Structure 1
Amino acid sequence: MRYLLLFALATFLCTCDPAPETTQTTTEGPDRAANAAPTTMLTAAGVEAETVFNFEDIIWGFTWLPDGKMLATVKDGRLLLVEGDSSTLVSGVPEVRTAGQGGLLDVLLDQDFATNRFVYLSYSRSEDGGDKGFTSVGRGRLSEDGSQLEDFTSLYDGGPATDKGQHYGSRMVWGPEDGHLYFTIGDRGNRDENPQDTTRDGGKVYRIAADGSIPADNPFVGVQNAKEAIYSYGHRNLQGMAVNPTTGEIWEHEHGPRGGDEINIIQAGKNYGWPVITYGINYDGSQITEEVSKPGMEQPLHYWVPSIAPSGMAFITGDRYAGWEGDLLVGSLRYSYIKLLHLDGKEVTGEQDIIKNIGRLRDVRMGPDGYIYASIEGTGIVRVVPV
């Protein structure tokens, strides 16, 4: 009887499904996948990139129109209306200064685009057509057929102009609670003066109303000689910005020098330390500062040593990527992958590198169809799909 009981127990255990491994890739066929939710976490090998728009130049930013078409900025100054794998030029775009890292940068639709058709652009702008420039943010009205940007107007110019070609920023998001426009401008290659001085532009996150006016509750309103559009300061070169869909917080990432790329959560009036504190060093290997922390200066939520050269940023929403819901995506220019950061609240619990060796990642977005999209320099726009 004892042997019969043991045999029955063994048979029962063999027929039970094993507990799912947290790092196993779901490999269900299309019929099962359509009818059953995945129960395991995807791995880096569980996704692949498919090109949806072939383009050989640098697409710096992109977004979707309500009809499913895309607007994409080309660093050399072109704005594209993308439909499928074809595109047309949008006229009426401001002239840009394309020296160095500058050019036509980010693109953002108005929160009430369906009514007013406003499109916001950030770009490097020449001062009176000369060889000096600054980061500017402005808006124009997209014509009904999408062929023209009408009545484009600059809303904020981050001067003074300089002939340096680096660290323009620049990303834009809407504040989910206040409806204001948040945007970034890098330190413009002047780390000794711009980032820590609130009377100067550069190395800052800014906050303005949709029409360009300054909100009365901005942290430096009324402060003598301060740039009242400033929301936070002490930044280096911010090329990623996203709203946390769970908390409504605005997250940004910025390039460090040699090491010290950072992710920060932006708070009004806070000083994020550059260049007084940093986890990076100069490109020649010399020390910038021995300080990595200091009272009154914010610590990054996360940082990288060595640098990954981050560009583009998005939180994963929806349920297309099993186990990645709410996690963070950061593009890497240096290593040609998307960095996936697993989050537990504000804590980074792990990292994966996905779609590796694909090219320099310039922007990362969640599409209206729930898929991850990325712009790759020299390739175009790809969609990341589970396999």
Structure 2
Amino acid sequence: MTFRAFHRLLLLLGVLVSFASTAQSNTYQAKKMSVWSLNQPWALTQLPDNNWLVTERDGQVVITGGVESLVRIPLALPDLYVAGQGGLLDLALFADFAVSGKVMLTFSQGTEEANHLAVATAVFNGESFSDISVILTVSPDKDTPVHYGGRLALLPDGTWLVTTGDGFDYREEAQRLNSMLGKTLRFNADGSAPEDNPFAEQAPYVFTYGHRNPQGLVVDAASGAIYEHEHGPDGGDEINLLTPGNNYGWPVATFGTDYSGAQISPFTRYANMQSPQVNWTPSVAPSAMAIYRGQMFPELNGQLLVTTLKAQQLLAVDLSATPVQQTAPFATINQRLRDVAIGQDGAIYVLTDGKEANILRIAPR
């Protein structure tokens, strides 16, 4: 065993010990919000009236209204493509949602032979969605039903970010500025490209590039920092601090290897490419992310909360610590987790994954 492998093993064992000691403290309770099941959900968004909207990949949005109340609304999404990792993905509210009812959506669109990520706006009146309009489509098309990205974030200046995956078989596209694959894209609410984007003439929408399959995206309201996380291949999952115009390495620089065991690149770092803030090797399969700000869990203030699919944990990552610290403060959950949000009540809400998923509310006992 190499020194690097031994060091990684020690780090992993340290996390596992932390998980176990936290589980024994029995301080917190993760309680199901309902008796019903969600079908392949992807995103969790709280409304001003405290109810939640949950996207399901088959094209429906669920409105939760208490323990036994659930309403499903099918969306008339044009050319919705549901296969593999595709379907209806993220949903986010406009800043003026309380007045306008406007939301932003992402979904996969097209056919098996030619599909892509699409971004759309819609209006929600509390009971139904109307005025669905596609404002941005990712190009080029691909023939794989995976690696869409699709996570949305609203920036303080009113522009939006969306993550896009590399399409799996098209990983070289992540390094090409004339491709929208493997990027974060910045766009206006009407779908146009902001004139101050870093590559305004060459690549009007590109904000950052060199990404694999980014599914976590969050803006820290306190500092303005933008954090993204993405799936590596076999290893090499990472958290990045995004800066406009920067290259985040994939597939030139990665800590991961191919699923076959083959080497993807000899480089874990490369000149003029940004190294990750956090590298997870072995993979944890990060699926979403939020920043905790609240009084219910003061010990977590300012930390990133990361849901994972493979590790089946909600991780708390403290980027302010040197070295970066991560724990699993709610170790007894032990399920595949799809999304996380901080509720208006200060509790942590976690969306589980799969065909019989649910929302968990985490609060002190």
TM-score w.r.t. length of structure 2: 0.88
Give the Cα separation in 2 of the matches to 1:192 and 1:150: 36
1:381 equivalent in alignment to 2:346: no
Q: Secondary structure at the match of 1:161?
A: coil
Which residues of structure 1 form unaligned runs of 5+?
1-22, 24-40
CA contact (8 A) 2:116 2:137 kept: yes
2:59 corresponds to which of 77, 85, 88: 77
1:49 equivalent in alignment to 2:33: no
Change (3 A) 1:325 1:75: same
For residue 47 of structure 1, report the CA deviation from its aligned partner: 1.9
1:370 equivalent in alignment to 2:346: yes
CA contact (8 A) 1:42 1:324 kept: no
The residue aligned with 1:113 is 97
Q: Secondary structure at the match of 2:251?
A: coil
Counterpart mapping for 1:1-387 below 5 A: 45-53=26-34, 54-85=36-67, 86-95=69-78, 96-126=80-110, 131-143=113-125, 146-176=126-156, 178-223=157-202, 226=203, 228-344=204-320, 348-352=324-328, 354-377=330-353, 378-387=356-365
Q: Secondary structure at the match of 1:358?
A: coil
Give the Cα separation in 2 of the matches to 1:346 and 1:153: 45
CA contact (8 A) 2:171 2:182 kept: no
For residue 326 of structure 1, report the CA deviation from its aligned partner: 1.1
**Structure 1 stretch displaced more, 350-359 or 238-247:** 350-359
Change (3 A) 1:150 1:340: same
CA contact (8 A) 1:337 1:361 kept: yes
Give the Cα separation in 1 of the matches to 2:252 and 2:25: 37
Change (3 A) 1:335 1:70: same
CA contact (8 A) 2:149 2:165 kept: yes
* Paired residue type of 1:149: F
Change (3 A) 1:105 1:44: farther
- Per-residue Cα deviation, 1:311-337 (whole angstroms, up to 9, x for no partner): 010111111114111111101101211
**Structure 1 stretch displaced more, 62-71 or 277-286:** 62-71
Size of the alignment, in residue pairs?
Answer: 340
Give RMSD over aligned pairs.
Answer: 2.0
For residue 43 of structure 1, report the CA deviation from its aligned partner: 8.3
Give the Cα separation in 1 of the matches to 2:50 and 2:38: 22
Change (3 A) 1:111 1:307: same
Give the Cα separation in 2 of the matches to 1:248 and 1:235: 21
TM-score w.r.t. length of structure 1: 0.83
For residue 356 of structure 1, report the CA deviation from its aligned partner: 3.9
Identity of aligned residues (%): 36
Give the Cα separation in 2 of the matches to 1:165 and 1:356: 33
For residue 345 of structure 1, report the CA deviation from its aligned partner: 6.3
For residue 91 of structure 1, report the CA deviation from its aligned partner: 4.2
The residue aligned with 1:17 is none
Give the Cα separation in 1 of the matches to 2:240 and 2:323: 12
